[in-house]
């Protein structure tokens, strides 16, 4: 099965306008993401999905492929679905975050391996939580999985709640996992989930994955031990540059 890697990239970010075009050690962020993703041998093709001609021009300049998409998409998943609708030859799609300039190709490979199983509809990665700063940070979604590794629930709050245990001891009593924001979709599933209306749990937690679970789609998870570095704000970029 051919797998397509899509890097959604928009210019008009609320917290960091023009983020895909900022330079990191002499290369734009979108170029670094593209070059990292290109090292994943499981991807048959990689395209940048963007609504901005400035980003498209940069991709052209470094020899990458892109597709111009609508400007009103609410999420990267919606942008991926537009591209998937244009390219029916691909059986699965990997949604690669455009703000992780040093994404490890091994994470892409791990996610792509989920689609060796014909029953896989959706897939994502999780990582063990080792510190309270992650466990209680609402900006880091937590994941509860079944014994077979399928996602049961995503939450910004630590789940499960450990009754009769002080919060400072929760990590000693239970292994929590955080969500690593890279997704894989079987193509037909991707087209289906983007037609669904927002669900009550999704609106409550502001996590689109909950829409899929509420509508009985199955999300396979794989555990990674590789940390990701996302650039959400100019301050994140300053910290990254200072550590390079």
For residue range 191-243, list pLDDT tens digits in order: 999 999 999 999 999 999 999 999 999 999 999 999 888 888 888 877 877 76
Helix (H, G, I), strand (E, B) or coil at 145: strand
* CA atoms within 13 Å, Cβ hemisphere of 112: 23
- Tell me which residue of 212, 197, 223, 225 sits closest to 153, measured CA to CA: 212
Backbone angles phi, psi at 191, to 5 degrees: -65, -30
Which tens digits make up the pLDDT trace of 175-197? 999 999 999 999 999 999 999 99
Instruction: Examine the pLDDT at 157 and tell me if it is beyond 70.
Output: yes
pLDDT band at 244 (very low <50, low <70, confident <90, very high): low
190 token code pair: 């991707």
pLDDT at 211: 98
d(CA 21, CA 58): 8
Residue 224: DSSP 8-state = -
Which tens digits make up the pLDDT trace of 57-76? 999 999 999 999 999 998 99
For the chain, which domains are there?
3-237 (3.90.550.10)
- Tell me which residue of 172, 174, 148 sits closest to 159, measured CA to CA: 174
pLDDT at 177: 98
**pTM for this structure?**
0.94
């Amino acid at each position: 099965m051919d797998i397509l890697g899509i890097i959604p990239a928009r210019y008009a970010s609320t917290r960091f306008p023009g983020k895909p075009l900022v330079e990191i050690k002499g290369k734009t962020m979108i170029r670094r993401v593209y070059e990292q993703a290109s090292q994943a041998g499981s991807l048959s093709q990689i395209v940048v999905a963007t609504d901005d001609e400035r980003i498209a021009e940069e991709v052209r300049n470094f020899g990458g492929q892109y597709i111009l998409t609508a400007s009103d998409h609410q999420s990267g998943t919606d942008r991926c679905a537009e591209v998937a609708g244009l390219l029916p030859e691909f059986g699965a799609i990997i949604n690669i975050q455009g703000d992780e300039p040093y994404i490890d190709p091994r994470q892409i490979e791990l996610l792509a391996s989920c689609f060796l199983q014909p029953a896989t509809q959706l897939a994502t990665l999780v990582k063990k939580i080792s510190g309270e700063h992650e466990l209680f940070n609402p900006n880091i979604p937590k994941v509860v999985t079944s014994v077979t590794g399928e996602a049961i629930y995503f939450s910004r709050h630590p789940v499960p709640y450990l009754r009769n245990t002080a919060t400072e001891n929760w990590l000693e009593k239970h292994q929590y996992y955080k969500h690593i924001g890279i997704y894989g979709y079987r193509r037909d599933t991707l087209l289906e989930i983007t037609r669904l209306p927002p669900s009550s749990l999704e609106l409550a937690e502001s996590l689109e994955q909950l829409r899929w679970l509420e509508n009985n789609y199955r999300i396979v998870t794989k555990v990674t031990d590789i940390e990701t570095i996302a650039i959400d704000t100019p301050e994140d970029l300053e910290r990254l540059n200072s550590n390079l």
